Amino acid sequence: MLDKCGLLHQLAAMAIDLEALLSDARKAIFFRDFEQALGLLNRAGAMAIEGDAGDEIVAPILRAIGDARCGLNDWEGGETYYREALARMEALGVGESSEAAGLLCNLGYLLDKQERYEESEEAYHRALVTRTRALGKDHPDLVPILNNMAYRFMNLGDLQRAQGLLERALVIVEAVVEPDHLALAEPLNNLGELYRRQGNTAGAVPLLQRALSIMEAKVPEEDHPDLLVFLRNTAAALRDDGRDEEARALDERAERISGG
């Protein structure tokens, strides 16, 4: 039997190993290698269970497993892990934290992917209220929630309400970063695409071109996969504006990237 010092040393070593696995898994998720991430996280989960780790250790692992499963389009599996992680966070008394809001935002997204829009509305509302209370109404960490809420309204055909959310998201980001900062690419792209769908070509083109320009300056090559959605959206707006030759050039780049 381990004495108290030996037990504490073992627990500390386990925590270090778990943190390393979790860090590697998050990197894999960032690079969209979801299978690798899931393998690492399953190892972390087994280690945590074997070591009888507390909820403060298990909850982040469960949340990350949910992220990896969502990356693999396993919406039902992702939901199971998200809800278990949230329950453990609530048991710890941190169910109203900014971290819990991020989990709720992701939960709303996977509910949207299953067209469970009434449930996603509840998740987003709770996420927005929780994070606003924790960080303030103009904090950049609100932007992912606003973006997801906007996509929900777009899926429901309510472009007007989506517009208000995306415009708010862009204002928040522009207030805290330089005009060419990478953080602006997604908000510019999202709002530009919304304007395009509304038929507001004059508003859409400059936003989408600016988003594409920011991305082109940040990625390592002109046909990088991260450019694909920006190229396609900008091409569509240029075509709507009658600028077919410019649109065709962007479409050709998008085709090369997608292997089409």
Q: What is the pLDDT of residue 175?
A: 97
Report yes or no on 218 lying in a domain.
Answer: yes
Domain, as residue range, for 202: 177-260
Report yes or no on 1 lying in a domain.
Answer: no
CA distances from 128 to 102, 104, 123, 164, 206 (A): 9, 9, 9, 15, 29
Report yes or no on 233 lying in a domain.
Answer: yes
Report yes or no on 192 lying in a domain.
Answer: yes
Report yes or no on 12 lying in a domain.
Answer: no
Give 110-120 pLDDT, tens digit per residue. Answer: 999 999 999 99
Give 149-203 pLDDT, tens digit per residue. Answer: 999 999 999 999 999 999 999 999 999 999 999 999 999 999 999 999 999 999 9
CA atoms within 13 A on the CB side of 227: 26
Report yes or no on 193 lying in a domain.
Answer: yes
Instruction: Compute the distance between CA of residue 79 and CA of residue 92 in angstroms, rounded to an integer.
Output: 20
**Number of domains within the chain:** 1
Which amino acid makes up residue 121? E
Report yes or no on 254 lying in a domain.
Answer: yes
Instruction: Compute the distance between CA of residue 232 and CA of residue 260 in angstroms, rounded to an integer.
Output: 13
Q: Residue 259 is part of a domain; what is its CATH number?
A: 1.25.40.10
Q: Helix, strand or coil for residue 206?
A: helix
CA atoms within 13 A on the CB side of 247: 13
CB within 8 A of 130, min separation 6: which ones?
96, 97, 98, 100, 101, 104
Report yes or no on 148 lying in a domain.
Answer: no
Is 64 a residue whose pLDDT tops 80?
A: yes
Q: Are 187 and 227 in contact (CB under 8 A)?
A: no
